[in-house]
Structure formats: structure tokens, C-alpha cells
Structure 1
Amino acid sequence: MDPEAEGPAIITVTPLQQMLASCTGAILTSLMVTPFDVVKIRLQAQNNPFSKGKCFVYSNGLMDHLCICEEEGNKAWYKKPGRFQGTLDAFLKIIRNEGIKSLWSGLPPTLVMAVPATVIYFTCYDQLTALLRSKLGENESSIPVVAGIVARLGAVTVISPLELIRTKMQSKTFSYKELHQFVSRKVSEDGWISLWRGWAPTVLRDVPFSALYWYNYEVLKKWLCAKSGLYEPTFMITFTSGALSGSFAAVVTLPFDVVKTQKQTQLWTYESHKTYQSSQARGLIGATAASHSHSHARSEMCLRPAPQLTATLDP
């Protein structure tokens, strides 16, 4: 039998290879996307200065992290004065006055959870997709939606307790003994479910985004392959599919993103200040929501999805 008649050979990827690829993509993504979020936060802080105890959302391109303003004065990276006139002006002034490394301020601590979460997410998606296709057939359109939702729920469920601990450690320096006491007290007072306190706000936006993204990504990739007469997607097909589907999903789920930010901020108020009222959190929420509509934030949000969602994909 002619080997060419059997079609091109399909290269199988092992779970270990998928995890290594996801890890590499996660690190590249964070390096590409973090500067956009650092600039966004600096612009927000310039327009609405962060006071001690207030919260803001920091995104390294892989996941969102709630950060608590600790430093008084201008010591913290997000409080440094700049007098920025816009996104491009902020990029140039930060590089010129503070050095290019400042564009990745605050990144290392967030990677401790973001990289494992990304590895879990993409590896689960690939494995679930392969399993569902073997059961339902290659052309079942619901496969990317189901696999995307389940993979995202799994990743968020695993990481959510660690995010609680990270946020607590940020508000005060803890020893391992004190941290263990905090977790034990939390469980005894509110039950094990309290460790997943931030789970609901996270899935509120991430699950719809994941479903939209993966469905459109697979459809676009298949369509571009058919148009190009290719059996397997090239890098450009993968990149284009990821960029377009990611941008579309980001626009559609923007209201969910604002609500997610509101819920997270309400949950993680500064615990060492018992008098820190929800009205202050609502004030920050209003500033955060307003920043989404501000021209500086809009330009940053439009630029972010493409590199964020394509660097973690492999053809």
C-alpha cells in the first residue's frame, strides 16, 4: 500500500511534553504581557493614587492576582511618580528613568502559582480534547467548549487555596508556623470551603472566557487549514487563530472581568485594618471600573490578549 495514500503521519505528544511546552509558553507569555499590565497599573495609580490597605489587580498574562498596597510614600514600584501622558509615554519614561527591568516589577512572586496553573490548564485541555475526540469523533463541535470549561475549573480549584495564602502573606510577614496557624484557624472557624473563598469570582469570568476562546480557536484553526490546503496548522495559523479568538473573547467577557475585579476586591480587604470599610473597597472598585473605560486602559487591554493567548499555544 502506498504510504502517501494513508495521509500524513500524526505526531503524538506525551503529557510530559505538553507540560514542558505549557511551562515554556507560560514563562514567555508572562515576559511578553507583564509590561502592559505594569504600565496600566502605573497609569491607574497616577490617576487614582493607591493608599495603604487598598487593593489592585495585577495580571502577569497567565492569571490575575489581588495585591494589597503595603508601602507608605513612593517606595513601592506601583507608587513611583511618573507624570505619564499615555501608554507609550509611560513605556518610554519607565525605561528611561527606572531601567527596562521595571517593566517586570512584581512578576517573580506571581509566577509561583501562575506557571503551575497554566501547566494544569493546558495539559488538562489537551488530554480532555484527545479523550473526547476518541469517544465522540473528530468533528464534534462541543468538544473544545467542554474541555475548556473543565480544564479551567480544575486549574482554578487547585490554585485557589494557594492564592488565599499568597494574599495573606502579602499583608504581613508570616513564619511557616504562623501560616499553619492561620490556615488551621480559618478551617476551624469557616470550614474547608473557606480556602476556596476566591473561587467563585475567578470562575465568573474565566469559565465564559475559556469556553468562547477554545471554541473559536478550534473553528478558526480548522477553517484556516482548509483554506490553505494544509492537514496540520502552521505557526502563523495557530498565532492568528489564538489572537483573533482571544481578542473576541476578551471583548465579550469584559463585563464579567469588571464584576470579577469587584468581587475579588470586596473579598480581600486589608485584614490588619478592621475598620477598613466596604465603602472604601467600593471606591476602589469604581476607580478600577472607570479605568477600564479610560483610554489608557482600553489601549492596553486591546493589546494584551494576542500575545497572552498565542505564546502558550503550540501548533
Structure 2
Amino acid sequence: MTVAGVGEFGLIDRVTARLTHGGSCLLGPGDDGAVVAAPDRRVVASTDVLVEGRHFRRDWSGAADVGHRAAAANLADIAAMGATPTALLVALCLPADLDTAWAEGLADGLGAEAATVGASVVGGDMSASPTLTIAVTALGDLGGRAPVVRSGARPGDVVALAGRTGWAAAGLTVLSRGFRTPRLLVEAYRRPEVPYAAGPHAARLGATAMIDISDGLLADLGHVAKASGVGVDVHRDAFEVPRQMRDAAQALGVDPYSWILAGGDDHALAATFPRSAALPAEWRPIGRVVEGEGVTVDGAAYDGPAGWDHFR
């Protein structure tokens, strides 16, 4: 059965019936607006969009995989502000001949990823479109803490990373070359493993700046450097190349560090901390904040790819 066959409101009924709601959702789908609890009296908001052919391909990822990715991209932004995600709003632009089972699988993935942090899909919109597009807005709660912004890094701070980088980029390269293995890398592209709890934890530890690594480690640290008016130096030896990534890189003729330093979509969190901060195991030091500007690797300009830019 297609989307056109069930109609807009029939599809809405099918999708919303699959969604569950966490404690922050006071009123979910069904009215002109949802009601979400905001105990802090401030709401962190972020939005992102996925376009078929640009951000995902249905022959590479299942509907639930795309749902997980769409939710993760937004939930990670909330965590990078030091906040706890509470709700997602989802706008879907769908081809009329799309199978309803695909839309339902997408809803399953969105809801499941949101549930990992206790958040809910609380509403959204639908429209017909020749291009499958998913726009997600995430909301979050700061829990009484100040937001951790990009502009707070200071020379002498430690740069640390929670999560992994390069895995999704390696999986994307594998898929783009027509392969489906190593499965570990392909699955990392399809469903990122995001350290959501590390964001609020970093805020409690006194992080001075933080960012979600969506476009590549060096590119995103460049945003922190620019906003803070500092330089960032990354230590290459802070990154160990996993065996599966090393073997895939050798087979494909790729420098694995181009994935690790410039690959996006893993949604790791990078933060800067005062030198005196005691970092838990989830945060590993990868560099330092220095006087100057821009991002360097081992004190020198990096001559590989810098990261993702939609218009280049």
C-alpha cells in the first residue's frame, strides 16, 4: 500500500500509533501543537534535515536506520549544548508512491532513537514531495545549568572527545564502492552510536566549549576555534585505528586518518576542559587549545580533507 492509497490522515494515524511518549511529553500528537514540560524554564532547540540522495539512500539503509540517523543528528546537537533531549518534532515530505511500510519503519527508528534518551516524537507535519525529505527539530532541557557554547575555549584548555570518529565515514566509503562489508563499519554509518549522556556530564564537569562532530572532527573543531578566537591543535597519536578500519582502508586505498579526522556522521562530542579538570574514561584527551587561530594536527596544517560542506 502506498502513501497515496492511505492518504495524509490515514498515514498520520498509522505513524502516530507506533510512537510512545516519555515523561516530558504532556500532550502528544493530535492537536494543533504538542505540550512538552520545560522544568528549567529554558528550552534548547535545534533542527536538521535529511534529503534522499544527499544524506541517505534507500538501497543502502532501511527505513528504521534512516529514522535512527535523523533522530541522532538532532539529539546529538542538544547533548552538545550540555542539555538532556526531551522531544522531537518531525516534518516529512514524501513521494505519493512511497510504500506506507517504509514510512512506518521510519517512525519506528525515530521513536526508538528518541527513547534511548527518554525523549519522544511529539508531533510534526507531512506533505507530498517528489524528493523524500525528513526535517527534525529537537528540544532539550538544561537542568539548571548554563549552556555549553562554542565560544568558551581558552588557551591551555584540554581538547577531549567522547565517542568515536571515522566509523560512519568508513562505512559510507565501503557502500559507495559497492560493498556491504565490513559490516561493523556499514552499520556504524546506518545507525550512529552517540554518547548522549556525555554532553550533560561534560557540563557538570565544567566544560568550557562543546560541539557535535557531524561534519568532521577538524571542521567542527574549527567552529570552536573561530567562535572562541583561539587555535586548536589535535594530536594524531591520540587516535588508534581499529583493525576493521585499517583493513578496509588498505583494501580501498584510503588513508584511515582521513576518515578519523575529517569524516562526519558519527556524532561524537568534542569539548574543551580546563587543564585541571579530572576527565572520566568516556572523555579522552585528543589535543589542546593554543594561542592563534584555526586547527592544526601535531602543530602543522593538515593537508588532507577538512570535512563536509554542503555547497562544495
Superposition TM-score tier, normalisation by shorter sequence: under 0.3
Of structures 1 and 2, the larger Rg is shown by: 1
Of Structure 1 and Structure 2, the greater helix share is in 1
Q: TM-score of the superposition, structure 2-length normalised?
A: 0.25
Higher relative contact order (CA 8 A, sep 6+): 1
